[in-house]
Amino acid sequence: MERLHLKLKEINHVIKEEVSKENNVGILDGLSGIALFQFYYSKYLESENIYEDALITLQKCFEKINDGYSLPTFCSGIAGFGWTIDHLVENNFIELDNDELLSGFDEYIHNVMVFSLNKKNFDFLHGGIGYALYFINRYRNTSLESLKLSYKAKIYEFISLLESFADKTSNQYKWEKVSNGEKVYDLSLSHGMSSIIGILNKLYELPEFRDRVRDILVGTINFIVELHYLENKLSLYASTISVVNNKNQDNSRLAWCYGDLGIATVLLQSSYLLKSESLRKKVIYILEFSSKRKNLEENSVFDLGICHGTMGISHIFKNICHKLNTNTFQDTSKYWLNKGLELSIYDDNYLGVKKWDPSIKSFIPDLSLLEGAAGVGLVIINSLAPLNTKWDECLMLN
């Protein structure tokens, strides 16, 4: 526990020293995610100084947008910033009139959402799914009936566009994309069909959308659960499936972004929403299989980050224990948490968090929630504190 507290101090120190270098405002790769860590850390320590640091980081987002910053995406841009503001107000970190503040972004985000979907860009991080998540959050949180009706219409438009581009059979829905020049079905939570299940789960939770999305949700689940497992069984699911012959393309890593864990996470959510014991049993089998995967290199685990590193794996297994009300995967969660601490010791004594950059085959510093220090810090806080943390809804984990 002392090592975890020390790592939090190191992360907070490095963020304070280096946050001025951050150019984006988004939640997963930008200032909003960094501020989110600072707000939760200030709450954990009951520190007014860290709370003030968080406000300063958030203010930088406003300043950048006022200066003309216009990247819209959920991962790095304005949609992610808007989600963060909503989250902070909803969870009593700050007091703002979100209806007045955020409604000015709605038309822009709506336009890019429709444009993205018409281009078949359903990507969670950089496309249509991320924009839809922003509008779902706004729909839940707005206090103005006029805005609620506006968001409801935008969400129905999203559902219709999503459905219109699906490849449909009698009981399946699937969406193709082009990867490396080949048409594939991407199964991932970061860029593919698991994120579609995730967003449909969120809509199914809302009674007014339930009937509209039920068939799409069930059909998408059917496609994934009816896939044949990989024969050599490093992973149960591939990252992508060929559209031409429906064959698995490759093994998938052990990670949030691609592979069995992301798929299992959203299917577990679905199993509760749909009251499906058979689906839940299938998910538990996936998780039991994944809990035995411990070799870092074999499973492409090279760093700490939430996206595809040790802390993301640890956090997912901890969440699963809570959701299933079991300690079955507690040791697995602790194993990956400890591996993360081991990987956080660098040859140059850097105190923060570095991500592995395969293009240069080296580690580079990163402050972000998705791949760097802010995300690692949030996972550590979650492992230490009995706080009611909901920050991981930005990753479709909550």
Question: pLDDT tens digit string along 155-201?
Answer: 999 999 999 999 999 899 999 998 888 899 999 999 999 999 999 99
User: What pTM, to 2 d.p., does this model score?
Assistant: 0.96
Return the pLDDT at 347: 83
CB 74 within 8 A of CB 28: yes
Print pLDDT tens along the chain (398 aa): 899 999 999 999 999 999 999 999 999 999 999 999 999 999 999 999 999 999 999 999 999 999 999 999 999 999 999 999 999 999 999 999 999 999 999 999 999 999 999 999 999 999 999 999 999 999 999 999 999 999 999 999 999 999 999 999 989 999 999 888 889 999 999 999 999 999 999 999 999 999 999 999 999 999 999 886 766 678 999 999 888 876 665 789 999 999 999 999 999 999 999 999 999 999 999 999 999 999 999 999 999 999 999 999 999 999 999 899 899 999 999 999 999 999 998 888 898 999 999 999 999 999 999 999 999 999 999 999 876 679 999 999 98
Return the pLDDT at 387: 63
- The single residue listed with the structure tokens 């103005």 is 144
Structure tokens belonging to residue 265: 């996470």
Alpha-carbon distance of 259 to 213, in angstroms, equals: 24
Give the single-character DSSP code of 180: T
Closest CA to 198 of 216, 178, 185: 216
Alpha-carbon distance of 206 to 204, in angstroms, equals: 5
Return the pLDDT at 251: 85
Q: At what angle do helices 48-66 and 78-90 cross, to 10 degrees?
A: 140
CB 129 within 8 A of CB 110: no
- State in Å, rounded, how far the first CA of the chain is from the last one: 24
Closest CA to 130 of 206, 185, 76, 55: 76
